[in-house]
Amino acid sequence: MKAVILAAGKGTRMRGLCEKRPKPLLPLANRPALQLTISRLKEAGVSDMLLVVGHQQDKIKQSHGYGTSSGVKLYYVVQEALNGTGGAAMLAEGFVEGEPFFLVFGDVIAHTENYVRAARLLKSGAGAVVSTFDLGRPVKIGAVFAQDGRVVKIVERPSPREHSSLVSAGIFIFPPEIFEATRNLPPAPTGEHELTGGIQALVENGMEVAAMPVSGFWANLTDPVALLQANAAVQRELAERREPLVQASAKVSPRATVDEFAAVAADARIEEGAVIGPNVSIGARSVIGSGARLRGCILIDKVAVGAGAVVENAVIDAGAEVPPGAVIRSPLRSACVIWKTMYACETQTEAAAKAKGQ
């Protein structure tokens, strides 16, 4: 089976993290998100993958080439006009050669078992597969209505009278009929060609479209908070699969405390007394000073955290420095991004507590 990965987005809500790199190359457990997606599709039986690229496409090609190191074959097509998911999907029509295929969003990551389950549903007779995630509240974009394991309706922008807590989760298997179904639709008011309309046309034409609730975990990498949450989930999955999280060339002091699910990349150094975790990934050639404490952090390569510094719930961009003794704490819901050298500071909450003598 073949797969199409939509990876042309600009990552505008990543607060500067995608100025230097495309969103699919943002790291989770020190692995590019795109690499994780490729490995999951491979495990589901996919050998040939088409990447629909756009923003900083050269960096994606430089990073992943033609898939040799991943044991798959990668191909590329450029989405010149950002005309929606349906427009991106249409670029793959010649590539799939009239056969069923995976289509996944490049900024969605889920437990490996979901990709394998989707392939099994196709083999069991489903005409198409749509993954779903229960948000626990009415969905505003990409609402799925399901009954007895089948999609009965899917709406890109539901009306106030249409209520569903199931959102389309960005992992699909489509038959080649999806192209004609999508091509025949008028553009949405935004001018985009929406993939949901094509899926709805398949449903209305009587095709059995399986609704597959995602299991394990699912994350849409929309912003730094989602990135941190996905990082924690990926670290746990890799640990379950007994994949190494701490690379052999990393230097970790025996007097440091490192969480069992923390990821430490090649040539990183953690000095004595440092406390790492939970949910911390330390990028290649980063240095964590003595007594520093990190919690809920992603450190992209070559980050320096000074002795005694405290950082909680942050994404630290490559090459940034946190000086000794700095205290940077954010609630997870508003995780901060550190993209340059920081100076010793304290949060407003800590400053207020000191003022009251607490």
Mean of the per-residue pLDDT values of the chain: 93
State the pLDDT at residue 125.
96
- Residue 348 pLDDT more than 60? no
State the pLDDT at residue 345.
46
Handedness of CA 94, 96, 100, 102 (dihedral sign): negative
Alpha carbon separation from 127 to 6, 174, 205 (Å, rounded): 21, 7, 11
- Please tell me the least confidently modeled range out of 104-108, 258-262, 280-284, 348-352: 348-352
- Residue 83 pLDDT more than 90? no
State the pLDDT at residue 189.
76
Distance CA 33, CA 109 (A): 7
- Residue 333 pLDDT more than 80? yes
- Residue 60 pLDDT more than 90? yes
Whether 71 contacts 146, CB under 8 Å: no
Residue type, 86: G
- Sorting pLDDT into bands at 50, 70 and 90, what band is 349? very low
State the pLDDT at residue 201.
96
Q: Which CATH number fits domain 246-355: 2.160.10.10, 3.40.50.1450, 2.40.50.140, 3.40.50.2300?
A: 2.160.10.10
State in words which class domain 2-224 has: alpha beta
- Residue 284 pLDDT more than 60? yes
Paired sense of beta strands 31-32 and 27-28, if any: antiparallel
Residue type, 19: E
Whether 44 contacts 116, CB under 8 Å: yes
Which residues face 209 on adjacent strands?
128
3-state secondary structure at position 263: strand
Phi and psi at residue 232, to the nearest 5°: -60, -45
Average pLDDT, integer, range 249-272 = 98
State the pLDDT at residue 355.
55
Distance CA 226, CA 116 (A): 24
- Residue 1 pLDDT more than 60? yes
3-state secondary structure at position 87: helix
For residue 53, give the nearest of 4, 18, 94 by alpha carbon.
Answer: 4
For residue 250, give the nearest of 280, 288, 279, 294 by alpha carbon.
Answer: 288
- Sorting pLDDT into bands at 50, 70 and 90, what band is 358? very low
Q: Which two tokens stand for residue 37?
A: 């997606």
Average pLDDT, integer, range 26-44 = 98
So where are the chain's domains?
2-224, 246-355
Alpha carbon separation from 274 to 63, 255, 303 (Å, rounded): 32, 8, 15
Whether 72 contacts 35, CB under 8 Å: no
Average pLDDT, integer, range 36-45 = 98
State the pLDDT at residue 354.
55
